[in-house]
Amino acid sequence: MAGPLVGYRVLDLSRILAGPWLGQLLSDLGAEVWKIERPGTGDDTRQWGPPFLKDGESNDTTESAYFLSANRGKHSICVDIATEEGSAIVRALAQQADIVIENYKVGDMSRYGLDYESLRKLKPDIIYCSITGYGQTGPMKDVAGYDMAIQATGGLMSITGESDDMPGGGPQKVGVPIVDILTGMYSATGVISALLHRERTGEGQHIDMALLDVQVSVLANQNMNYLTTGTPPKRSGNAHPNIVPYQVFKTKDGSFVLAVGNDQQFRKFCATAGLTELAADIRFRTNTDRLHNRDQLIPLLDVHLVKQTTHHWISLLEPVGVPCAPINRLDQVFAHPQVIHRELQINLPHPSGAIAPLVGNPIKFSKTKIEYSKSPPLRGEDTEHVLKTVLKFDQAQIQRLNESRIVDTGTHPRRSSPRRLE
């Protein structure tokens, strides 16, 4: 048995990242995902390069790395939903689907008869997930939402980056579109929960997901730091607002993370690092003491830790259970023995003729193991196949629709046979 969602069908009307991330996750779990794209151009992120996937001769293909990151396992169907025939095709596909994903502006889908109220009349048990920047309701419902703007509006940038009085101080965004990704993940939880509800009751439902809602909800302890005190937390760089020492320290040849999570670990750290006197110092005995006296403790650690190399501290502290880590670049990450063992990089034959290096799903099932059988698709790669097999269109119908640009059966050059994996 491969994937717990085998047998379910997903109509993915989304583009960019949050919706596609949800669609890719559902595909990994075994669902059949039909990705609807614009004829001629496809998903916006197909143009977000370089970098692009390289073929066997190290030449660029037309497949952007960004698009590859969020569209594994999907079937690309290019249909112009702005046309009457195009929207009718998508409505027909919706009637064959269990789940619909869309991330258009509020109200846009109703123009094409593809909104939840229209589709539930055709398929009452449909599960319909809408993803927008600010939600389907409220004073900002019509404002377009972009990840960085949400990081700013939702408070994440106010607590990310060095403090204003430090070199390079000021607000920073997270290094990946974290709000989009987390929204995709929360949406997966909502969709799968709605599937369970449907299994029990036969009822479908509309799921209203907003990037801002997700952003605010995931601030976790920082939310509570504010709500319990009334004082907004400030940026403190890599330092933790509630634990000391828990930050980056410089070493003789670089830097490393020291993440002391409790008083026992602090005593163990001091004993191992040759700082026994600090564990006995009344200023630093408990985490609360260390928080109150952070400005006195950190300079003492700075002076001591910079005397030795990163490898020295990691090899000394890790074996005794003091949480610490080197700060790896991505080349070091994918060469790491644990990352290799966990099979986090996968390689799939791509229809362009290249081998696509991809990142595996982190979920490890004991029974329904995730299988990867399909690379991120070429634009329109599966249009003809799905129209024939799902909607029973004949070749003449498909040719007419293709010639009138209502659908796009794909115009990318392909190699006759993809390279085999070694």
Where are the domain boundaries for CATH 3.40.50.10540 in the chain? 9-217+342-408
197-210 pLDDT, tens digit each? 999 999 999 999 99
Model pLDDT, residue 270: 98
What is the structure's pLDDT at 1? Answer: 59
Among candidate residues 12, 80, 115, 180, the one labeled active-site is 180
Question: What would the mean pLDDT of 235-253 be, rounded to a whole number?
Answer: 96
Sequence-ordered alpha helix ranges (H) in 32-106:
65-68, 84-94
Whole-angstrom distance, CA of residue 179 vs CA of residue 239? 22
- 128-151 in b/e burial notation, b at 16+ Cβ within 10 A? bbbbbbbbeeeeebebebebebbb
320-373 pLDDT per residue, tens: 999 999 999 999 999 999 999 999 999 999 999 999 999 999 999 999 999 998
Label residue 397 by pLDDT band (50, 70, 90).
very high
pLDDT > 70? residue 35? yes
Which distant-in-sequence residues (6+ apart) come within 8 Å of 322 by Cβ?
258, 260, 265, 268, 269, 272
d(CA 54, CA 135): 38
At residue 161, φ and ψ (nearest 5 deg) are 115, 170
Q: Has residue 403 got a pLDDT over 70?
A: yes
- Residue 376 contacts residue 68 (beta carbons within 8 Å): yes
* Cα distances (angstroms) measured from residue 363 to each of 27, 176, 337, 409: 13, 20, 18, 34
Mean pLDDT of 79-108: 98
Give the separation between CA 176 and CA 114, rounded to whole angstroms. Answer: 31
Question: Alpha-carbon distance 404 to 315, whole Å?
Answer: 66
Q: CA nearest 191: which of 213, 210, 208, 212? A: 208
pLDDT band, very low/low/confident/very high, at 414 (cuts 50, 70, 90): very low
| Per-residue pLDDT at 420 | 30
Which amino acid makes up residue 85?
Answer: E
The chain-wide mean pLDDT, for the chain, equals 95
163 vs 419, which has greater pLDDT? Answer: 163
> Of 165, 86, 56, 66, which is closest to residue 393 (Cα–Cα)?
86
Model confidence at 377: pLDDT above 90 = yes
Q: From 3.60.110.10, 3.40.50.10540, 3.40.50.10140, 3.10.520.10, which CATH number describes the 9-217+342-408 domain?
A: 3.40.50.10540
Whether the Cβ atoms of residue 97 and residue 9 lie closer than 8 Å to each other: yes
Q: Is the pLDDT of residue 421 over 50?
A: no
Active site residue 382: no
Bridge partner list, 206: 128
Through-space distance between the first and last CA atoms of the chain, rounded to whole angstroms: 25
Query: Identity (one letter) of the amino acid at 412?
Result: H
114 pLDDT exceeds 70? yes
The residue type of 4 is P
Q: Give the DSSP per-residue string, 280-338.
A: H-TTSSSHHHHHHTHHHHHHHHHHHHTTS-HHHHHHHHGGGT--EEE---HHHHHT-HH
DSSP state of 274: T
Tell me the mean pLDDT in the region 304-323.
97
Give the pLDDT confidence score for residue 411 in this predicted structure: 53
Write the CATH number of the domain with boundaries 246-331.
3.30.1540.10
Per-residue pLDDT of 213-231, as tens digits, reads 999 999 999 999 999 999 9
In the chain, where does the domain assigned CATH 3.30.1540.10 lie?
246-331
Instruction: Say what the pLDDT of residue 346 is.
Output: 97
Do residues 127 and 98 make contact, with C-beta atoms less than 8 angstroms apart?
yes
Contact between 370 and 83 (Cβ < 8 Å): no
Residue 408 has pLDDT above 90, yes or no: yes
Checking if the pLDDT of 413 tops 70, the result is no
With CA atoms as reference, report the closest residue to 223 among 289, 154, 288: 154
- Using the Cα atoms of residue 33, residue 39, residue 43 and residue 45 in order, give the sign of their dihedral: positive
Q: What share of the chain in percent tops pLDDT 70?
A: 97
422 has pLDDT over 90: no
Token pair of 240 as six digits: 């933790």
**168's torsion region: left (phi>0), alpha (psi -120 to 50) or beta?**
left
What would the pLDDT profile of 259-289 be if each residue is shown by its tens digit? 999 999 999 999 999 999 999 999 999 999 9
Token digits of residue 389: 């097999």
Q: Each residue of 37-57: pLDDT tens digit?
A: 999 999 999 999 999 999 877
Contact (CB, 8 A) for 104 and 15: no
